[in-house]
Structure 1
Amino acid sequence: MILVTGATGTVGREVLGRIGPGPAVRAMARQPERVVAGRGTVEAVHGDYDDPGSLARAVRGVDTAFLVTSRVGRDDDERFLAAARSAGVRHVVKLSAAAVEDGGADDLITRWQRGNEEALRGSGMEWTLLRPRSFMSNALSWTGAVRAEGVVRGLYGTSPNACVDPGDIAEVAVRAFGEPGHTGRVHTLTGPEALSAVEQTAQLSVLLGRPLRFEEWDPEQARAVWGARYPEAVAEALLQSAERQRAGAKAGVGSTVADVVGRPARSFREWAGEHLTAFGPR
């Protein structure tokens, strides 16, 4: 049996949509009624990292697990891995982040992800690490301003990022579930090119057939916006990440997606073309 955690999240739901017929599949979410399965045989279960009983039930009978955690600074990975090990789970495919391998990254989020990876490596179970660059779907945070004002706002708009389609991350994860050669491997995942937010805005403008403009935040504006959404330490980590991006740390393009799935990584233009309704009129 395959267990997909974070089953209602950006990557988890893409994973569910790509698992083919054959293995039994269980989807874990805090709100299992929100699980949308790509196939009719998915068992949706409640799971909460703060509830050891729910984790024990979720991992019972599982052979392979896809692990997603998002509460920065928490020990959710350790809690899940303890339950998985006790239940006899064999293989864990972990969603991490590309910044982990950057020696210049020492922000809170990256240190937390490094600790999560170390916990998995030391768990005694087989492991595969997925280290994606930023998700193309982060552009969905622009939808309100694009619809209402025709504007995208952000920090360091000309800095490049080799962002990746979450669907490509999911495709690699599914290959790691069922194909040999992925255990003990680290897969760093990027898109096919490094784009800036200004360039993404221009591509969206062409696809939507209407003008869009990019408005640059200064660091204090970004700190205020992110500080209203996240804890202060997380907001500061995002600022540090943006500085590394401005310095070119996120511009590298790799071939892992193509190597694993046998086709080129999808472009931002392709991803945006499939999500245009989110940016159009309500």
Structure 2
Amino acid sequence: MILVTGATGTVGREVVRRLHADVPVRIMARDLARITGAGRTAQRVAAQYGDPRSLERALSGVLTAFLVTNRVAGDDDARFLRAARSAGVRRVVKLSAAAVTDRRADDLITRWQRASEELLRHSGMEWTFLRPRAFMSNTLSWAGPIRSEGVVRALHGASANACVDPRDIAEVAVRVLTEEGHAGKGYTLTGPAPITAVEQTRQLGRLLGIPLRFEELTSLEARAALAGRYPAPVVEALLESAERGRAGAKAAVEQTVRELTGRSAGTFHDWAEDHLAAFATDGDAPVPRRRPPLRRGPGQEPRGVA
């Protein structure tokens, strides 16, 4: 039995969609009504990291778990791993972040991710870390201003980031969850090329067929914008991370997606083309393209912040 946590989030819901119907799957979420894309045979369980009894129910009979946590500096990883060990879980695949491998990264979010990885390393269970660069889907936060003003506002528009399509992260996760040979490994996941916010804006404008302009935020403006969404310590961590990006720390490209799936990582253009409905200024959004299937090697069954 595979347990998928974070199943209503950006990556978790894509993992759920890709797990083959023949694979025993249990989906954990706080709100079961928000689960989408699950197969008919998938089990669903309402659970929260802060509720030990619900975790016990979710983990009963589970051998492999996909772990997603997002409460920065919280103890959700520790709670889950204690419960998983007690339940007899054999291995845990943890969604982490690419920044943990950068010795220059010392912001709050990265320190928390490193600490979470250490907990899993010393848990007594097999572990694998998935360490993605920033999600391409982060640009969805631009959708409102694009629709209302035709503008994108962001910090350090010329900073290059090898951002990754969340669907690629999910395809790698499915491989790791359903195959042997990944224990004790950390996989850094990136897109096929670094791209700047200015170029993302340009590509979105061309796809939408409308003129978009990019407006550079000052550090003060970026701090004020982030303060409306995150606690102050997280805001400072994000600003520190952005400064590392401006220094080129996030531009390196890895070939991990190709190595594990047999195909190139998706481009931002591909991702944007498939998600134009979110940015469109009217109801005539293009029909998303169908994503190419996950390639499989001989004898394999079909599997269906940084």
Decide: shared fold, TM above 0.5: yes
Q: What amino acid sits opposite 1:95 in the alignment?
A: L
SS of the equivalent of 2:194 reads coil
Q: Using the TM superposition, give the Cα deviation of residue 258 of structure 1 relative to its aligned residue in structure 2, in angstroms.
A: 0.3
Q: What amino acid sits opposite 2:160 in the alignment?
A: P
User: Is the 1:33–1:44 Cα contact (8 Å) retained in structure 2?
Assistant: no
Q: Using the TM superposition, give the Cα deviation of residue 40 of structure 1 relative to its aligned residue in structure 2, in angstroms.
A: 1.5
Q: What amino acid sits opposite 1:172 in the alignment?
A: V
1:191 is matched with which residue? Answer: 191
Deviations 1:235-262 (A, max 9, x none): 0000000000000000000000000000
Q: Using the TM superposition, give the Cα deviation of residue 177 of structure 1 relative to its aligned residue in structure 2, in angstroms.
A: 1.1
Report the TM-score when normalising by structure 2. 0.91
Provide the rounded CA distance (Å) in 2 between the counterparts of 1:176 and 1:56.
24
- The count of residues paired between Structure 1 and Structure 2 equals 282
* RMSD, matched Cα: 0.7
Deviations 1:146-187 (A, max 9, x none): 000111110001100000000000000000011221111110
User: Is the 1:19–1:174 Cα contact (8 Å) retained in structure 2?
Assistant: yes
Provide the rounded CA distance (Å) in 2 between the counterparts of 1:228 and 1:206.
30
2:122 is matched with which residue? Answer: 122
SS of the equivalent of 1:15 reads helix
* Within-5 A mapping of 1:161-176: 161-176=161-176
2:221 is matched with which residue? Answer: 221
Provide the rounded CA distance (Å) in 1 between the counterparts of 2:137 and 2:228.
21
Provide the rounded CA distance (Å) in 1 between the counterparts of 2:210 and 2:198.
15
Provide the rounded CA distance (Å) in 1 between the counterparts of 2:202 and 2:181.
40
2:232 is matched with which residue? Answer: 232
Give % identity. 63
Q: Using the TM superposition, give the Cα deviation of residue 75 of structure 1 relative to its aligned residue in structure 2, in angstroms.
A: 0.6
User: Is the 1:59–1:89 Cα contact (8 Å) retained in structure 2?
Assistant: yes
Q: Which runs of 4+ in 1 moved over 3 A?
A: none
Provide the rounded CA distance (Å) in 1 between the counterparts of 2:38 and 2:84.
25
Provide the rounded CA distance (Å) in 2 between the counterparts of 1:54 and 1:160.
42
Q: Using the TM superposition, give the Cα deviation of residue 281 of structure 1 relative to its aligned residue in structure 2, in angstroms.
A: 2.5
User: Is the 1:147–1:281 Cα contact (8 Å) retained in structure 2?
Assistant: yes
2:266 is matched with which residue? Answer: 266
* Structure 2 residue 253 is the aligned partner of structure 1 residue 253: yes
* Structure 2 residue 244 is the aligned partner of structure 1 residue 208: no
Deviations 1:208-267 (A, max 9, x none): 111111111000111111112111000000000000000000000000000000000000
Provide the rounded CA distance (Å) in 2 between the counterparts of 1:157 and 1:235.
18
User: Is the 1:25–1:42 Cα contact (8 Å) retained in structure 2?
Assistant: yes
SS of the equivalent of 2:160 reads coil
* Within-5 A mapping of 1:47-66: 47-66=47-66
Provide the rounded CA distance (Å) in 2 between the counterparts of 1:251 and 1:73.
26
2:106 is matched with which residue? Answer: 106
SS of the equivalent of 2:19 reads coil
SS of the equivalent of 2:119 reads helix
Q: What amino acid sits opposite 1:170 in the alignment?
A: A
Q: What amino acid sits opposite 1:140 in the alignment?
A: L
Provide the rounded CA distance (Å) in 1 between the counterparts of 2:63 and 2:26.
11
Q: What amino acid sits opposite 1:171 in the alignment?
A: E
Provide the rounded CA distance (Å) in 1 between the counterparts of 2:79 and 2:222.
33
**Which consecutive residues of structure 1, in runs of 5 or more, have no partner in the other structure?**
none
2:45 is matched with which residue? Answer: 45
Provide the rounded CA distance (Å) in 2 between the counterparts of 1:47 and 1:199.
41
Provide the rounded CA distance (Å) in 2 between the counterparts of 1:33 and 1:60.
22
Q: Using the TM superposition, give the Cα deviation of residue 142 of structure 1 relative to its aligned residue in structure 2, in angstroms.
A: 0.5
Deviations 1:43-64 (A, max 9, x none): 1211111111111111111011
**Which consecutive residues of structure 2, in runs of 5 or more, have no partner in the other structure?**
283-306
SS of the equivalent of 2:264 reads coil
Provide the rounded CA distance (Å) in 1 between the counterparts of 2:230 and 2:135.
18
User: Is the 1:190–1:253 Cα contact (8 Å) retained in structure 2?
Assistant: yes
1:84 is matched with which residue? Answer: 84
Provide the rounded CA distance (Å) in 2 between the counterparts of 1:155 and 1:44.
40
